[in-house]
Chain A
Amino acid sequence: MKTNLSKRMRLVTSLTIFFGVLNMFAVIVQATRVVGLWSEPPLAKWNDDILGLQVAIFAGTLAYGIVMNLLIMLFMHNSIKLIRNGEFFSKRNAKILWWTAPTYLIGSFCDYNAYIICQSNADSILIYPNSFLIPTFLIGISIVYSIGVILSEENRLTV
């Protein structure tokens, strides 16, 4: 059963890294389309009145796309290394899990308001409860994982 789970974990990790890299590439390509590096005219309609907000949302969306994928790939990569060493939890992974929460929060906000970049006359910022539900859940998961780290350490020190 352990071998089966280990094999499944390896498959899931490989798929995660594959889709993570693909995602990051797609995000970067989309970002270049928005600013008009590959497409004319650019999708972005910059407005001097709200330029700061537009740039912040653009940067946030780009950063979210890269950072979130990196965090997920790193978590899975670390997990498979841990399993190979006969462990399951690590402080490093607990931190990575924690950081997915604020990353998702920023990314979610930027995602919902990405329309502001493409509409120069946008006049409202959208905030949905979902933007807070998932990060709260992720923080909860990271707390449970941290408890796992503590218990794992206790178990390691049980002779």
Chain B
Amino acid sequence: MSIIVNVDVMLAKRKMTSGELAEKVGITAANLSILKTGKARAIRFSTLDAICKALDCQPGDILEYREEE
């Protein structure tokens, strides 16, 4: 998958743990892990909206496109 989800950087900036973020977003820690490890096939806009709200950031701050070699 060429889309990378960089949640860790924002988590460090906001001094928040993965567990806290998962709780605020309303997803399980397992699902957040799927997102962070790049295993997710898709993300719902509602989830992206909740993550951006929880981390007070823009989608571009956590989403990155990296062309596969």
Which residues of A are in contact with B by a Cβ distance under 8 Å? Answer: 154, 157-159
Contact = CB atoms under 8 A, between A and B. Distances in A.
Contacts, number: 22
Contact of A154 (B32, B41, B44): B41
B58 interface: no
A108 B52 CA distance: 60
Residue picked from A154, A157, A158, A159, most chain B C-beta under 10 Å: A159
Given A154-B42, A159-B34, 6 more contacts: A157-B34, A157-B40, A157-B42, A158-B44, A159-B35, A159-B44
A157 B39 contact: yes
Nearest to A157: B41
A117 B57 CA distance: 77
B38 to A, nearest CB: 11
A42 B39 CA distance: 62
B64 to A, nearest CB: 16
A157 B39 CA distance: 7
A154 B42 CA distance: 8
Nearest to B32: A159
Contacts of A159: 27, 31-32, 34-35, 40, 42-44, 47
A153 to B, nearest CB: 8
Interface in B15-69: 27, 31-32, 34-35, 39-44, 47
Contacts of B42: 154, 157-159
A82 to B, nearest CB: 18
